[in-house]
Chains A and B, each alone.
Chain A
Amino acid sequence: MLSLATADFQQADVDYGAILPMLIVFGGALIGVLVEGFAPRRARHSIQTAVSVLALAAAFFALAVVAQGHQGKTLAGSVVLDGPALFLQGALLLMALLSVLMMAEKFGGETPDAFTPMGATAPGSPQEAAATRLGLVTSEVLPLTLFSVGGMMLFTAAGDLLTMFVALEVLSLPLYILSGLARRRRLLSQEASLKYFLLGSFSSAFFLFGAALLYGYAGSVGFAEINKAITTATPQLENLLLPGILFVLVGVLFKVGAVPFHSWTPDVYQGAPSPVTGFMAACTKLAAFGALLRLAYVAFDADRWSWRPALIAVAALTMVLGAILTVTQTDVKRLLAYSAISHAGFILVGVLSFDRMGVAGVMFYLVAYGFSTIAAFAIISMVRAGGSEATQLSQWAGLGKREPFVAVLFAFLMMSMAGIPLTAGFTAKFAAFAPAVAHGDRAGAALVIIGVLASAVTAFVYFRVIVLMFFNDTDGDVSVLSPSIGMWTAIILATVVTIVLGVYPGPALDAADQLSQFLR
């Protein structure tokens, strides 16, 4: 019935069931903006916390109950809800929930402990003092977090380059702001924020440039179309393909924190408020790897053999440099930042297996790493000296004697990061490395060997922290704050996940395995 002319424009079908979780998160964020504008100041923070927690919980519920049954492409193919997207979004929502609980922590004070009362004031200025006196609260951190989470969810489910770019910006912009809002050491925090913003923009430009080249090559920004265009080659435009792919990958590798696009990581991880660092380390990494998997397995799969060497080099460099640089770190947060870099390298090994098992292994790794990182940064935010966080490693000496419970938790998390058997870290490494050996031919095996050696180097670092905590004498006035129920719940939950994924990983591995098939 339709004429050819009207077929040129087709209204996109919207499967609201598939995007319901994202809608709930964005809706929660918008409600948060309204709360910021209209709720009385005293109640604002509590309302924001409630809204955020409810939105994330509801989104998870919607994901598990509704979206699960609505897998497929929607919004004209710009959103793809398939197995990996479902798995990653679910993990994302749970980890975001724990992060929100930590961001809301007051440690018995009037306002959230980690954030400055007023981000716009200059550090040490009279305005800042006045804001503190007035008891101002930057409760907008929570809606900002929700926006970022929404962006991350979209990032893992994007079906074309433009949607992915928009998602990248939606997830990044709030993070730039969040990084600059630390209550203490504000200069460091603002510096981190600015650096993150500058370098993030730089990498976004690469991404956009790559997207433009690929559009020129394929005549479409859709992943499926790009992949199809690669198989039906157009020789005269061949030269656009490889630079396009590499530039797009660079944009994502930046977010992942892979060498040589990693330089921002230590500075930002150190400067940002610890709960935000935990959130970034866990959730951003997860979303970025989700996007990377989709690019590598869906959009650029057909041209795999030409760009694979680049990714192999990046993976090897990331593992080696990340591991070596952890050795000389004296600041706990920077140490974990470099550890995050080396973990990114380990995960890349799984990505490079180019196999379904690899996808499952990567997703399992992201979950295992994410939960233990969130808990680790939460504990870091609790260890204090003279009012601010005691991030110097030397200050952690003897912590095991004074605060055995917290120290044991942290030691356990360190062991998981080192990949000691019966912790999540071990299972994760195995899940990511095994497919690389099985399906990644010689390069995969070589990467696994590098990975194991790098793990050995990082294990030294993690165990040095443990030795420091338990076998060295206590020094100075370091104390551990006792958090509220909410934060304790988050820490314990994250630790329990780390234990369960190590001792009884079967169900989680099965779930990752079942949800590892990308929809092309």
Chain B
Amino acid sequence: MTSLVFPAAEQAAAAAATGPAAYAWLLIAFPLLGAAILLLAGRRSDSWGPALATGLSWASFGLGVAILVQMLGLGAEERGMRSRLFELINTGSLKLDAGLLVDQLSISFVMLVTFVGSLIHVYSLGYMEHDVDKRRFFAYLNLFVAAMLTLVLADSYLVLFFGWEGVGLASYLLIGFWNHNPAYATAANKAFIVNRVGDIGMILALGMMFKTFGAVDFASVNERVGGASQTALTLIGLFLLLAACGKSAQFPLQSWLGDAMAGPTPVSALIHAATMVTAGVYLIVRSHAIFDAAPDARLAVTIVGAITLLFGAVVGMAKDDIKKALAASTMSQIGYMMLAAGLGPVGYVFAIFHLITHGFFKAGMFLGAGSVMHGMDNQVDMRRFGNLSGAMKLTWATFGLGWLAIIGFPGLSGWWSKDKIIEAAFVGEGWRPWVFGLVTLFGAGLTAFYMSRLFFMTFQGKKRWTDEVHPHESPATMTVPMIILSLGSLALGAILAMVKFPEWLAPVTNGGHLEHREPVLSIPAIQIATFVLMALGIAVAWMKYWRDDVPVVAPEGNVLTKAARADLFQDDVNETVFRAPGAGLVEVLDDLDRGGVDKVAVGGLGGTTALLSSKLRRLQNGFARSYALTMLAGVVALLGAVWVIQ
């Protein structure tokens, strides 16, 4: 029965979906419908639109839970379920069905996206309450959820690409949501354009896959990796990495994420912290078969992750804008995930593990930041905060849990996932475990410092806000999602570790089981070192930003601080290395086009034709006798010619 839909060879990879999983398309359809209704109905839906959008997002979550329950009832080998939707492309040599793949990996993302997404819909009901364009905001949020679910549920790289572009569009629309502010509109453009660079990588990867494997669906690609050349696989891997760098703000395409904080805070929480920016990690993990067969490409992933990890941490230490500091930390944390994904089978599951826990605590902290801004008249400068713990108890508590989670305080969510990554980074032979292991270890210390700095500057120390600001706690629509997410920060890691989430995920990424390999240092040693560095980070932050007074105007700082404040000159580098030569090239081509093509080729040809035309025109002199003569001459010529030919 199933062989009608899938060739027999692919059956092993995924069976046809039954039960709730057969309705996986509704996961996408619900929010997509919401977006369509809200956008098409226009102002008429102002009153009920946001509630509808929120409801549809929860509906997707409900269905996601049903599919998860169904999957938990199946054996490990039966959990991958494919459903064919419709024929997408049918040309001579490329035939592709649009289909969805529900397996352990995609359902994990579905749960993350729909749950956090729905919570953020609820939060936005409060946060965006007084915005005149609230309806449009919810339409875009729904559009984002639909696109993100398409991305993670796709059963082929092409369908994934649709989602990939969709989330890019939604991200662009939401960053520029307040586009009446030119700086925000510019930020949206910047995000879109930098992402475009990554998308080129995706397109190139698609093309290479089609050339190499003759297919772009996961099952066929995974199956045919064995027969492909090393060069092709490495190229595909590097192209995929480029795509991932764009979407996940990894070095060298990281420059857009900080500016993307121009969007409303719920957007920063959902898209630019919890879900969309992790799509790059998803892409790498989903393509594990390619990366496992192309060690060079995988090493590149690890290196990119390591660089970004440190890059984000350094930038995060110097930022005074609470959202930008959080954005830098997001970049750094995704660096961890990338690094883990680049480690291969020892790292894939922990990359996803960290991705899930990070989704909760980072979204929670962003919502907390939004709550602080809400109470502080939309200020974002942490030097103007301080001692908010009294005025906003709930925000302080939920944010605090997020803070402890991200720095990897033992027992909280982040500790379970990040320590595993650090341990995995120490696995291997030669120089790699030492370099990557020490980078992750060092990064943990930096994380502890900059996150503590952020937390202390905002909630502890002395009050530095001006008299006209009256900090107050946010309404329940905002605090309840924060509380729920903080519970995730507190316990999700422990729960997932208890239910053996990594082992559950392993069939998708590791081909069946999770093998344990010993790191070059003993595990207790790594754990102790991590803890010590974390404590050190907190202590330094405590001294500088809690015990001592924080100046309201940033001190000049040393060279490194200045560089970090300027995002390590990322924009200047882009400007000098890419934009300026690009603009120069455009100018040269423009001159060539105008002076060469237009003047010589087009002008010359056109001029000749016009000249010919004006000469031939004279034949049309208006005299019937000449016309008749033309006809006669024509007849004679034809007759003569035909006779000659004969």
A positions within 8 Å CB-CB of B: 194-195, 198-199, 202-203, 206, 242-243, 246-247, 250, 254, 259-261, 263-264, 266-267, 306-307, 309-310, 313-314, 321, 324-328, 457, 460
B637 CB contacts on chain A under 8 angstroms: 260
B641 CB contacts on chain A under 8 angstroms: 309-310, 313
B36 CB contacts on chain A under 8 angstroms: none
- For residue B87, give the distance in angstroms from its CB to the closest CB of chain A: 19
Query: B642 and A307: CB pair below 8 A?
Result: yes
Query: A263 and B609: CB pair below 8 A?
Result: no
Query: B645 and A309: CB pair below 8 A?
Result: yes
10 residue pairs of the A-B complex, CB under 8 angstroms, read: A202-B628, A203-B631, A242-B639, A242-B646, A246-B635, A263-B620, A263-B631, A267-B620, A324-B609, A325-B613
- A260 CA to B633 CA in the complex, in Å? 8
- A167 CA to B639 CA in the complex, in Å? 26
Query: B627 and A243: CB pair below 8 A?
Result: no
- A206 CA to B634 CA in the complex, in Å? 12
- For residue B597, give the distance in angstroms from its CB to the closest CB of chain A: 15
Query: B624 and A199: CB pair below 8 A?
Result: yes
Query: B628 and A199: CB pair below 8 A?
Result: yes
Query: B646 and A328: CB pair below 8 A?
Result: no
The size bracket of the interface on B is: 20 to 34
- A306 CA to B622 CA in the complex, in Å? 34
B613 CB contacts on chain A under 8 angstroms: 324-328
B476 lies within 8 A of chain A by Cβ: no
- A266 CA to B616 CA in the complex, in Å? 14
Q: Beyond A206-B635, A327-B613: 10 further Cβ-contacts under 8 Å?
A: A199-B624, A202-B628, A260-B631, A260-B637, A263-B631, A306-B645, A306-B646, A324-B609, A325-B613, A457-B609
- A309 CA to B644 CA in the complex, in Å? 11
Interface string of B609-632 (1 = CB under 8 A from A): 110111011011010101110110
A199 CB contacts on chain B under 8 angstroms: 624, 627-628, 631
B622 CB contacts on chain A under 8 angstroms: 267
- A264 CA to B622 CA in the complex, in Å? 9
CB < 8 Å neighbour of A325 from B616, B628, B631, B638: B616
Query: B631 and A202: CB pair below 8 A?
Result: yes
B628 CB contacts on chain A under 8 angstroms: 198-199, 202
Query: A328 and B635: CB pair below 8 A?
Result: no
Closest residue on chain B to residue A261 by CB atoms: B631
B431 lies within 8 A of chain A by Cβ: no
Q: Which of A263, A267, A314, A325 has the most CB of B within 10 A?
A: A263
CB < 8 Å neighbour of A263 from B627, B639, B645: B627
Closest residue on chain B to residue A460 by CB atoms: B606
The total number of A-B Cβ pairs within 8 Å is: 79
- A313 CA to B617 CA in the complex, in Å? 20
B627 CB contacts on chain A under 8 angstroms: 195, 199, 263-264
B645 CB contacts on chain A under 8 angstroms: 306, 309
A309 CB contacts on chain B under 8 angstroms: 641-642, 645
A324 CB contacts on chain B under 8 angstroms: 609, 612-613, 616
Query: A327 and B609: CB pair below 8 A?
Result: yes
CB < 8 Å neighbour of B614 from A263, A313, A328: A328
Query: A263 and B630: CB pair below 8 A?
Result: yes
- A250 CA to B631 CA in the complex, in Å? 9
- A324 CA to B630 CA in the complex, in Å? 18
- A307 CA to B610 CA in the complex, in Å? 33
- A306 CA to B617 CA in the complex, in Å? 32
- A324 CA to B610 CA in the complex, in Å? 7
- A457 CA to B620 CA in the complex, in Å? 20
B578 lies within 8 A of chain A by Cβ: no
- For residue A312, give the distance in angstroms from its CB to the closest CB of chain B: 10
- A266 CA to B627 CA in the complex, in Å? 12
- For residue A463, give the distance in angstroms from its CB to the closest CB of chain B: 12
- A267 CA to B630 CA in the complex, in Å? 15
- A313 CA to B641 CA in the complex, in Å? 10
Closest residue on chain B to residue A267 by CB atoms: B622
- A250 CA to B634 CA in the complex, in Å? 9
B48 lies within 8 A of chain A by Cβ: no
- A258 CA to B612 CA in the complex, in Å? 19
B643 lies within 8 A of chain A by Cβ: yes
Query: B620 and A266: CB pair below 8 A?
Result: yes
Closest residue on chain A to residue B614 by CB atoms: A328
Closest residue on chain A to residue B617 by CB atoms: A328
CB < 8 Å neighbour of A243 from B606, B617, B620, B639: B639
Query: B638 and A246: CB pair below 8 A?
Result: yes
Query: B630 and A260: CB pair below 8 A?
Result: yes
- For residue A223, give the distance in angstroms from its CB to the closest CB of chain B: 21
Closest residue on chain B to residue A307 by CB atoms: B642
- For residue A302, give the distance in angstroms from its CB to the closest CB of chain B: 15
- A199 CA to B633 CA in the complex, in Å? 14
- For residue B383, give the distance in angstroms from its CB to the closest CB of chain A: 55
- A243 CA to B638 CA in the complex, in Å? 10
A327 with B642: in contact, given A202-B628, A206-B635 (CB under 8 Å)?
Answer: no
Query: A325 and B634: CB pair below 8 A?
Result: no
CB < 8 Å neighbour of A261 from B606, B620, B634, B642: B634
- For residue B403, give the distance in angstroms from its CB to the closest CB of chain A: 58
CB < 8 Å neighbour of A314 from B606, B614, B638: B638
Q: Which 8 residue pairs are nearest across A and B when measured between Cβ atoms?
A: A260-B634, A263-B627, A327-B613, A328-B613, A310-B638, A195-B624, A324-B613, A198-B624
B619 CB contacts on chain A under 8 angstroms: 263
A243 CB contacts on chain B under 8 angstroms: 639
B614 CB contacts on chain A under 8 angstroms: 328
Query: B624 and A194: CB pair below 8 A?
Result: yes
A242 CB contacts on chain B under 8 angstroms: 639, 642-643, 646
- A460 CA to B626 CA in the complex, in Å? 29
Closest residue on chain A to residue B627 by CB atoms: A263
Query: A327 and B610: CB pair below 8 A?
Result: yes
Closest residue on chain B to residue A249 by CB atoms: B638
